[in-house]
Copies of this chain bind each other. A is one copy, B any other.
Amino acid sequence: MSTVSGTDISALTSGQFATVYNLFSLVIASMLFTALYLLLSRSRVAPRYRNALVVSATVCGIAAYHYFRIFENFKESYPPGATVAADHLLSNIEFNEAYRYVDWLLTVPLLLVETIAVMALGRAASKTLLWKLVPASALMILLGYPGEIAQGMGARALWGGLSTIPFLYLLYVLFVELSKSLDRQPVQVQTSIKRLRISLLALWGVYPIAYLFPIIGGDFFGGASGFVLRQTGYSLADIFAKAAYGLVIYKIARVKSGLEDPEYDDDHASPTVASNTGDRNVPSPV
The chain A residues found within 8 Å of chain B, CB to CB, are 1-4, 8, 14-15, 18, 21-22, 25-26, 28-30, 32-33, 36-37, 39-41, 44, 47-48, 50-51, 54-55, 57-58, 61-62, 65-66, 69, 77, 80-86, 90-94, 96, 98-99, 101-103, 105-106, 120-123, 126, 149, 184-186, 256, 259-261, 266-274, 276-277, 279, 284
Distance of A36 from chain B, by nearest CB (Å):
7
Knowing A36-B58, A81-B92, the reply to whether A284 touches B261 (Cβ < 8 A) is yes
Give the residues in chain B near A274, CB-CB below 8 Å. Answer: 184
Main secondary structure, interface of A, reads helix
Copies of the chain in the assembly: 2
In the complex the two chains form, is A54's CB within 8 Å of B80's CB? no
- 7 closest A-B pairs by beta carbon, nearest first, are A84-B94, A260-B272, A22-B98, A80-B92, A120-B270, A48-B266, A26-B102
Give the residues in chain B near A123, CB-CB below 8 Å. Answer: 267-268
Distance of A108 from chain B, by nearest CB (Å):
13
Alpha-carbon separation in the docked complex, A218 to B246 (Å): 48
From the candidates B54, B62, B121, B185, name the one contacting A268 in the complex (CB within 8 A): B121
Give the residues in chain B near A15, CB-CB below 8 Å. Answer: 4, 149
In the complex the two chains form, is B80's CB within 8 Å of A84's CB? no
In the complex the two chains form, is B18's CB within 8 Å of A273's CB? no
In the complex the two chains form, is B29's CB within 8 Å of A62's CB? yes
Alpha-carbon separation in the docked complex, A270 to B184 (Å): 10
In the complex the two chains form, is B260's CB within 8 Å of A284's CB? yes
From the candidates B121, B266, B273, name the one contacting A184 in the complex (CB within 8 A): B273
Alpha-carbon separation in the docked complex, A89 to B67 (Å): 28
